[in-house]
Structure 1
């Protein structure tokens, strides 16, 4: 098993951009979701970098990357990832995107189809209007005044205390609760909150998701695509996986029974095996 790769930084668009780059061979790029970071994919790097080059960035506004004032649209994120690939001299890549990252991956494949070998969409945004009320609430007027209160140290401490009490009673949080909590704790500083609201409002409105891949994917040449979803996803409903087949020719769907919004964390071995099999048997 290889050592955990160190995070690296590069200056893109005048700001620091954090990523890991490990292994050699055909390139895989993992794209995290809203309030996520490259750490959500870290457990997969040493499962796949023995015969692939694995690149895992922190999107602008997330993780260790900068949180500048600016454009947080799907297209802006896709352009940044294209620029990172250019810096790394990577011509073509398989994109693996989770949630928001899935939406970015689809926009990337539309804008730069000559750079994409395959797509793996995990609990992806952009395939239907429905999304959790929690995320819709971040688009409401005044959310920028509410977030500092609910993400304050006082509130985080009390929620953490409640969580420890539940653990003492034998109630262990699943991947969804754990990751949502980690994302919530990242909102303690103003720059991260501003970037979160800008990113959310670029793709969601009070009624649900405001950007749909169904408008443009039928117009592009088909790219081999694997869609992965947890059957108990409470953030984006699993039936969106079926809707993908109407816009993505030859799309393959794999459901993880009992998994939530993070199937790659709920069953990482199955997920790694699926990705390895997909990238070696398609294209």
Structure 2
């Protein structure tokens, strides 16, 4: 997605960049930790043919400002509310990946009138288990190690090695692995790294994820939710999807085979089909979306 398609809104003195594309019922795509709107590039292209798609770069990420301040999931949820207010959007379907799923659920908890339904993709906030690498990143002193690990010299060597392994068949560099590598490289930038650490430490410690949304689902028994996961996700285990389904009577779970932490990028066509079925089951049809 070309950066010149990004629009800008100033919220509390800081610039937030976002994509606003298409017409119809509103779908908000919320990226994860170290991510950006570009994590949703296939979905922006396909969904904007039927819906109005809003895809922000959260503060501290992508092309948006990276101020010193609050990077908790509640702060990110408030940013989404403020963006919707600015765009005069009363409510929307929220689609959140990884940390973005946690932000979507926090938005539901804080501002339930703004959330029509949820689609959670490899979502955080549904159980304690998380990648050891993310747990390690929250430890004291990690701010001194991360610049070395994310340096261009080291990432170039790693990328070339992975590409070689891919060519000779030792290791297949799929879309999830490629996107994870690209996202990690962003923390070579000091302001992005500081925002990453502030965000990560607000939801993760050395024991794992510290925020769990499932005890609050009893308030939202009529909520329609779709949970999408990859069966090879090594960041957040797909068993967390069952934690949500057990508490949400109207929850649907889709596990993508041979997909990693970015199942929507590993299999974008399947994601589009599953999401379309979910929206149709919720009464949002293709015909009502187009031209509305």
Partner of 1:238: 238
**Is 1:49 aligned with 2:48?**
yes
4+ runs deviating over 6 angstroms: none
Q: 1:215-250, CA deviations, whole angstroms, 9 ceiling, x for partnerless residues? A: 322234531111111111111111111111222232
Aligned pairs for 1:151-230 (under 5 A) are: 151-170=150-169, 171-230=171-230
Partner of 1:261: 261
* Offset of residue 109 of structure 1: 0.7
- Tell whether the 8 Å contact from 2:30 to 2:97 is kept in structure 1 after alignment: yes
* Offset of residue 153 of structure 1: 2.6
SS state at 1:254 partner: strand
Partner of 2:6: 7
Partner Cα separation in structure 2 for residue 7 and residue 247 of structure 1: 37
Partner Cα separation in structure 1 for residue 55 and residue 99 of structure 2: 15
Name stretches of at least 5 consecutive residues in structure 2 with no aligned partner. 284-292
Tell me which moved more, 102-111 or 150-159.
150-159
SS state at 1:247 partner: coil
Partner of 1:65: 64
SS state at 2:226 partner: strand
Q: 1:143-170, CA deviations, whole angstroms, 9 ceiling, x for partnerless residues? A: 1111112122322232233234324424
Partner of 1:34: 33
Q: CA RMSD in A?
A: 1.7
SS state at 2:16 partner: strand
Distance change in 2, residues 1:278/1:82 (3 Å):
same
Partner Cα separation in structure 2 for residue 163 and residue 214 of structure 1: 37
SS state at 2:155 partner: helix
Aligned pairs for 1:74-89 (under 5 A) are: 74-89=73-88
Distance change in 2, residues 1:199/1:221 (3 Å):
same
SS state at 1:127 partner: coil
SS state at 1:94 partner: strand
* Offset of residue 14 of structure 1: 1.1
Aligned pairs for 1:16-35 (under 5 A) are: 16-35=15-34
- Tell whether the 8 Å contact from 1:5 to 1:21 is kept in structure 2 after alignment: no
Partner Cα separation in structure 1 for residue 3 and residue 186 of structure 2: 23
Partner Cα separation in structure 1 for residue 173 and residue 153 of structure 2: 21
SS state at 1:276 partner: helix
Tell me which moved more, 6-15 or 218-227.
218-227
* Offset of residue 5 of structure 1: 8.3
Partner of 2:252: 252
TM-score, normalised on structure 1?
A: 0.94
Partner of 1:142: 141
Q: Aligned residues, how many? A: 281
Partner of 1:93: 92
Partner Cα separation in structure 2 for residue 4 and residue 203 of structure 1: 29
Partner Cα separation in structure 2 for residue 105 and residue 194 of structure 1: 22
